[in-house]
Amino acid sequence: TRFSVGLTGGIGSGKTTVAELFAGLGAAVIDTDQIAHQLTAAGGAAIEPIRQAFGADFITPDGAMDRARMREAVFSDPASKKKLEAILHPLIRSETERAAAETQGAYPLFVVPLLVESGTWKQRVSRVLVVDCDEEVQLQRVMQRNALSEVQVRAIMATQVPRATRLAQADDVIVNDGDPAALTVEVERLHAAYVALAQADER
């Protein structure tokens, strides 16, 4: 299969920031969070299955998934979480493949926040790239960006795999503790390596 990269990292580690740098260099970035958002927006392919599985109460008057209500449901009830994932995961996967087949970039780079948690993604990509960040730095950035308390951010971090578990799955690591200039150098180095691997793959 065609060379591809799966980019992951904990909340606020810098996935979006790093993905934008790769896109600027010519990688075809496909963000699975963005796809999930489109699927659950008004007119999205997940809306009817969600209406049937959860009821009309979970759809807003304008036809989108009621995010606040769904967040509450999946947070308090593991069965609901599983039910939603059973709807979304196959749709995200097929939309992602469709987007990848259409892209013109040097190679597809999939942004998958829960790549390590969700199992099958690792087999789909040629290389797993982890954006790593000191937990205290990560905490400060997310508190600042989302106006959340330390307790709230730590609660989200607790739902994700530990940093060491994620790092153990990495083929490549970008350390995002420092300034953005250092980040650019790292991304340029990796992009050059990925372009070479993608070209070798096509031969």
User: Which residue, 40 or 59, has its beta carbon nearer to ligand ATP?
Assistant: 40
**Residue listed under structure tokens 């591809």:** 4
- Supply the DSSP symbol for 57: G
The CA-based diameter of the chain, rounded to the nearest angstrom, is 53
Least distance in angstroms from the C-beta of 156 to ligand ATP: 9
Is 15 annotated in a binding site? The answer is yes
31: left (phi over 0), alpha (psi -120 to 50) or beta: beta
Is 17 annotated for ligand binding? yes
- Classify residue 162 by its DSSP letter: P
The window from 10-18, 45-53, 66-74, 80-88 that contacts ligand ATP (CB under 6 A) reads 10-18
Residue 145 CB, shortest distance to ligand ATP, in Å, is 4
Spatial distance between the Cα atoms of 203 and 138, rounded to a whole number of angstroms: 40
Between 6 and 113, name the residue whose CB sits nearer to ligand ATP: 113
Asked if 113 is part of the footprint of ligand ATP (rule: CB under 6 A), the reply reads yes
Q: Contacting ligand ATP (CB under 6 A), which of 9, 70, 73, 166? A: 9
Applying CB under 6 A, among 71, 145, 171, 196 the residue interacting with ligand ATP is 145
The angle formed by the CA atoms of residues 79, 84 and 87, to the nearest 5 degrees, is 130
**Whole-number Å distance between alpha carbons of 76 and 92:** 23
Residue 44 labeled ligand binder: no
Supply the minimum distance, in Å, between the C-beta of residue 12 and ligand ATP: 4
196 φ/ψ sector (left φ>0, alpha ψ -120 to 50, else beta):
alpha
* Residue 40 among known ligand-binding residues: no
Q: Does 183 bind ligand ATP (CB under 6 A)?
A: yes
Which residue type is seen at 105? G
Q: Does 16 bind ligand ATP (CB under 6 A)?
A: yes
CB 13 within 8 A of CB 132: yes
Q: 29 to 88, contacts with ligand ATP by CB under 6 A?
A: none
- Interacting residue ranges for ligand ATP, rule: CB under 6 A: 9, 11-17, 113, 141, 145, 176, 180, 183
Point out the annotated binding site for ATP. Answer: 12-17
